[in-house]
Amino acid sequence: MMDRREHLRIPVRLFLSFSGGKVRGEGTVRDISMGGCIIESQASVHVDDIFYLQIVLENEQAPIEVAAMVRSVSSRGIAFKFLRSAQENKRLLAFVQTKTESFGTRSST
């Protein structure tokens, strides 16, 4: 079975907070890629809602900030799609590339 995802998802556990409109929330990022992320959160969100995410990258200084849209809400969590290319965010790009390299060494052929 082929994985049709455009970006490799990296399993992580990162704290994030987010806000958009009247909704504010926080949660845990479960996986992340250059295209988006899946989070666990108790916040009430809806598909197509747009939020401003602040993700704390493993004991780094300031959190990274990205705009994202809710793609789906399910028992797996809330799936966000980053709105602008996350590749424009140098810190996110470096973080994901580093994780991809260590994660990629475990992938099967």
45/42 Cα distance (integer angstroms):
9
Region 13-26: mean pLDDT is 95
Please state the domain extents for the chain: 10-104
Q: Tell me the CATH number of domain 10-104, given options 3.40.47.10, 3.40.50.720, 2.40.10.220, 2.40.50.140.
A: 2.40.10.220
Cβ neighbours of residue 60 closer than 8 Å, sequence gap 6 or more: 91
The SS3 call for residue 93 is helix
pLDDT in tens, 52-82: 999 998 776 789 999 999 999 999 999 999 9
- pLDDT at position 109: 46
How far is residue 24's CA from residue 18's CA, in Å, rounded to a whole number? 6
